Structure 1
Amino acid sequence: MEGHLDPADPMRLRISDSDRHAAAEVLREAAGEGRLDVDELEERLEATYAAKVYADLVPILADLPGTAPGPHPPAVRRPAAPAYSGRIEDLPRHTSSLAILSGQDRTGVWAVPPVHTAFTLMGGIDVDLREAVFTTPEVVINANAVMGGIDIIVNAATRVEVEGVGIMGAFEEGRAKIAAEIGPDSPLVRVRGMALMGAVTVIRKPMPGQGRTRLGRASS
């Protein structure tokens, strides 16, 4: 039936108000850049707030840079991440992560869209952004965990703002394993959503393959 959770097709999952608001922000930003006129903006905003599942947002955002396959603006690369010299269009691009009674990991070098949605029901998800290539200076992670856990992993040079809520659970920035090294070129990751009898945790870790550096000093 309509709205049934199909693990094979996460685009058919029903969206939340926070997902609609995130899409609306993308549209307003595009209008501010002159990519949409006032009538187009109003029409697409109306369609956005009427959207029921993630697939409904695809035609609304598909022709905007950074929201669908196609031409993208230059990647925002973080000082702590290895330089990526290839084409961003060749990288895997994940708009969502889904784990229902299972697990899913997003790791390695991949293109992070402006909005990534992670949902787990009695499962676990790792969204590892340490080696990822950001397509925009600001990324929104909509993370919702029901009796499960979502870990969002960032490196030293990523700014993070945690804006979610825990209900009989935890939605928080966990204890950092390395010191933050925030600079003017650091991207911003906003983590929004809900943890219901589960946990959404942001963790700052060293780059893969590097020795751990403790807060304020190098480990021996």
Structure 2
Amino acid sequence: MDPREQPRKRPGPRSARSAPAVRAPDTGPGRAAGARRKAPAGERAEPVPGAAGPAGGEERLVALFTGGARRGRRRIGPRTSAFSLFGTVEIDLTEAFFTQRLTTVDVVSVFGTVEVRVPENVSLRGGGTGVFGSFRVDAAEAADPEAPVVVVNGCSVFGGVEARPERGRRVADLLHGRTRGHSGR
């Protein structure tokens, strides 16, 4: 019998038993930081590549008709993305540990607000566009040429984006193993 003439099998409904043991990573905006792949019972789940972990990766913040904030003592990865739709996202880097020199924050605000705050001894740069809204980056250069740099890029449509240094706050430097006058509060 010719293989082209064989009847085709129709795929049946998939059960939990027929699903693959380890699924491909879902790197969409709904994936939580530190996400893990599913694993069979008795085996340890492995981290999803690209998920923001304690030392880096991309961190994604989404606020849909709600508010979200990232603040406190934590390690910052090289890239952070924030999206606000009728909500508010607050990114407070004043107590963060910078493990690399350049950190990029990409923001999009639609009828919402995104606020980014950095310590005063970190260089802040960036730019973007506001369409019937505002996009404001209070650029500041740190006195130390080796200081970490935060770049804020993006756009705002009927919303607002604000990035500014927080006066009186200083950052601990993990790049060179010394503290740069971290005053806490």
Shorter-chain TM range is 0.5 to 0.7
Shift of 1:94: 6.9
Corresponding position of 1:198: 159
* Aligned match for 1:188, one of 149, 159, 170: 149
Shift of 1:147: 0.5
Instruction: Describe the superposition over 1:39-93 as per-residue Cα deviations: whole angstroms up to 9, x where unpaired.
Output: xxxxxxxxxxxxxxxxxxx75xx4xxxx854xxxxxxxxxxxxxxxxxx65xx98
Partners of 1:155 and 1:196 lie apart in 2 by 27
Partners of 2:165 and 2:52 lie apart in 1 by 28
Shift of 1:97: 1.1
Give the alignment's TM-score, normalised by structure 2.
Answer: 0.60
Structure in which a larger fraction of residues adopt strand: 2
- Is 1:140 aligned to residue 104 of structure 2? yes
Query: Residues 94 and 112 of structure 1 are in contact (CA less than 8 Å); yes or no, is this contact kept in structure 2?
Result: no
Partners of 2:164 and 2:52 lie apart in 1 by 28
Shift of 1:183: 0.8
Query: Residues 62 and 83 of structure 2 are in contact (CA less than 8 Å); yes or no, is this contact kept in structure 1?
Result: yes
* Aligned match for 2:132, one of 143, 149, 168: 168
Matching residue's letter, 2:80: H
Shift of 1:181: 4.3
Against the structure 1 CA distance between its residues 170 and 187, is the aligned structure 2 distance closer, same or farther, given a 3 Å change threshold? same
Partners of 2:162 and 2:154 lie apart in 1 by 11
| Matched ranges for 1:57-136 at <5 A | 59=49, 62=50, 69=53, 95-136=59-100
Corresponding position of 1:214: none
Matching residue's letter, 1:197: F
Matching residue's letter, 1:12: G
1:162 match: secondary structure: strand
Shift of 1:11: 4.6
Shift of 1:182: 2.7
Of structures 1 and 2, the larger Rg is shown by: 2
> Which structure 1 residue ranges, 4+ long, deviate > 3 Å from structure 2?
none
Partners of 1:110 and 1:121 lie apart in 2 by 26
Partners of 1:148 and 1:100 lie apart in 2 by 9
| Matched ranges for 1:45-64 at <5 A | 59=49, 62=50
Shift of 1:209: 5.9
Give the alignment's TM-score, normalised by structure 1.
Answer: 0.51
Aligned length: 129
Matching residue's letter, 1:190: V
Shift of 1:188: 0.8
Instruction: Describe the superposition over 1:122-154 as per-residue Cα deviations: whole angstroms up to 9, x where unpaired.
Output: 110110011111121001100111001111001
Matching residue's letter, 1:155: P
